[in-house]
Amino acid sequence: MAAMTARRNILLTAALLAAARTALSQPPDLGPNVFVFNPSMPATAIQQQIDKVYAIEQHSEFGPARYALLFLPGSYKVDVPIGFYTQVLGLGATPDSVRITGNVHADASLPRNNATCTFWRAAENFSVAPAGGAMQWAVSQAAPFRRMHIYGNLVLHQNHGWASGGWMSDDLIDGNVDSGSQQQWIARNSRWGTWTGANWNMVFVGDVNPPAGEWPSPPYTRIATVPVVREKPFLFVDTHGSYLVRIPALRRNSSGITWQDGITPGRTIPLSRFFIAHPADTAAAINMQLAAGKNLLLTPGIYELTGPIRVTRPNTVVLGLGFATLKPVNGTAALTTADVDGVIAAGLLIDAGPVESPVLVEVGPAGSRANHARNPICFDDIFFRVGGAGVGRAQVDLRINSNDTIIDHTWVWRADHGSGVGWDLNTSANGLVVNGNRVTAYGLFVEHHQQYQVVWNGNSGRTYFYQSEIPYDPPDQSSYSSGPDRNGHAIDGWASYKVADGVSTHEAWGLGIYSVFRHPNVELTRAIEAPVEPGVRFHHMITIALDNLGQISHVIDDAGAAATARPHVAQKLAEFP
C-alpha cells in the first residue's frame, strides 16, 4: 500500500509539473491581433497567417487594424512582407535566438517604387538569412528597425525609387548597407561590413565602421559615441516558457550593439507585473492598475480615451505592441507622466482626436525641476499623428517638462494627406516643445505643424539628426508669419527648429529642413532660429525647396543663402556660428 501511494504521489507530481510547464508555455492573452508562432508549426500554416495579415495591411495606410507577429525562439523558413501597423518581433533573449530564412521585407507602398509613404511598421529582435543575399527595407518615417542581425546585405530602397528617411539601432549587418535613394537616415549603435550611398543628410552616431567621408561631400555626419541612451525594452520568452520584459541598462559614451556578448545588460520584469490592456479598456481602468503598481502592456488596437493615461510611479514601463494607438476623444492628453525617475514609454502611436487637445503627451508637469540624470525618463518609438485618419486637432503634440529626458526615435506628424486634412481642419501649432534641461533626442522627425515645428526652451539640449518638412498648405503669407524678430525684422513663416532667446547652451547635428509649398507667394525666412551664444552650436544643416513654389531664404538666422524652387538650388551650411 505504501509503495502504491508513493507511486501515485510520483505520478501526481509529474502530472503537476507537466501541467505547470504547459501553463508556462501558453502565451498570455495578448488579444486576437497578436499571432505567436513556434518552430514546430508547419511553415505553410505560418505563411498563411502572415499572408492574411499582409492582405489587410498592404495598402491600409489609414486603416483601423493593428497586428503583431511574434516568433518564439527557433528557425523558420517563411516569407514575411510587413505592411502598415504591423510589428514583427522575435521572442528570443538575443536576435540570433530567432532565425528566419527567406524574405523579410518592407516594400514601397506607392507606384514607381515610391516608398515615401511606407510608414508605421517594425522589425525587431530577430535574425534574417535573406533569400538572394539582401533584405529590402524600403521605408520612410515611423519604421523601427531594432536589434536585428542580417546574414547578408540590407537595402534601404526599392529599385532606387524615392524614400524619405528612416531609423536603425542596435543592429548587426554582416554585409553591405545600401542607402541608395534614401533622402535622410539615422543609424545609431549599429555595425555593418560596409555602407554605400548618400543623399541629403545621413547621420551615424555610435556606429562601428561608419562610411568614410565628411560633410558636405559626401553628406555624412559621424559622431563616434552616443552620450547617453537606454535601448527600447523588449518582450521575450525564457527557456521555461515564461514571458518577460527586458529593460536594457543605461549606457554612456557607447558605440556598437548591446548583445554582442549575449543578452543585453539590464534587468528583467516578469509579464505578470504588467497589466495587459486591450482596446476596450478605459483610461480609468488602466490608471487604477498603474496606481496599484503594475506596468502596462498595450495590445494592438485603437484605444479611444476619455481621459489621459497617467503614469505616476518611478520606473514604470509602458510598452505597446503592434502600433497600439492612443486616441483622446474629449480634448485631453493621451498620456502624462509625473516628474519621477526612470519612466519608459515605448512603441505607441498617438492619434489626435477631433476635439482639440492642448497637449497629446506631456512628460512631467509644468515647472518640473527634479534631476533625472542617473535614471532618465525614456521615450522610444513614440509616434504622433494629427489628421490623416480623420480630423484631429492639438495645440502641442509632445511637451517635455522633465529634465534629462531621452527621446529615442519619434515622428511627430501633422498629416499632409489622407482624411480630415486642411489648414483649418487638422490644426496643430507645435510638434515638440522642450522645457526641461539636458534633454537629448536621437532621430527627431517633426513635420507640417502650423507654427514652430520644434521649440526648445530648456538648456543643454542635444539633437542627433533632425528631419522636417514645414507645412505644405499655408494659404497665404499672412496666415503663415511669426512677426518681427528680436531686431524688428519682418519674418515670413515660422522657423522649423526654434531655440529660445534665453537658452545659453544647445547643440544639434545633422539637420535637414525642406519646403513643399502648395500656394503661391508663400516663403520661409529662416529654417532655424537660435540665439548667438558661444554654447549654442549647430553642425551640418541642409535646406531644400521642393516642388516649384516658394523658397527658404536662410538656413539659420541670417546665415546661409536661399534654397529656391525655381531654379532649384539646395543650400548646405556646415557650422553655426
3 state DSSP class of 56: helix
For residue 212, what is its C-alpha cell? Answer: 568614410
Q: How far apart are CA 548 and CA 525, in angstroms?
A: 17
Q: How far apart are CA 200 and CA 463, in angstroms?
A: 18
Q: How far apart are CA 439 and CA 432, in angstroms?
A: 12
Q: How far apart are CA 437 and CA 427, in angstroms?
A: 28
Cβ atoms of residues 332 and 356 within 8 Å? no
Cβ atoms of residues 351 and 327 within 8 Å? yes
Is residue 529 annotated as part of the catalytic site, yes or no? no
- Name the region of 429 (left: φ>0; alpha: ψ -120 to 50; beta: rest): alpha
Q: How far apart are CA 111 and CA 295, in angstroms?
A: 42
Beta strands, E only, 143-242: 145-146, 149-150, 153-155, 166-169, 172-178, 184-188, 191-196, 201-205, 220-223, 226-229, 234-237
Work out the number of other CB atoms within 10 angstroms of the CB of residue 336: 20
Of 57, 231, 447, 469, the active-site residue reads: 469
DSSP letter assigned to residue 27: P
For residue 138, what is its C-alpha cell? Answer: 524600403
Alpha-carbon Rg for the chain, nearest whole angstrom, is 24
For residue 65, what is its C-alpha cell? Answer: 487594424
Number of H helices, E strands in the chain: 3, 47
DSSP letter assigned to residue 307: S
Provide the CB-side half-sphere exposure for 378 (13 A, CA).
29
Q: How far apart are CA 324 and CA 363, in angstroms?
A: 19
Q: How far apart are CA 396 and CA 48, in angstroms?
A: 42
Residues with a known catalytic role: 469
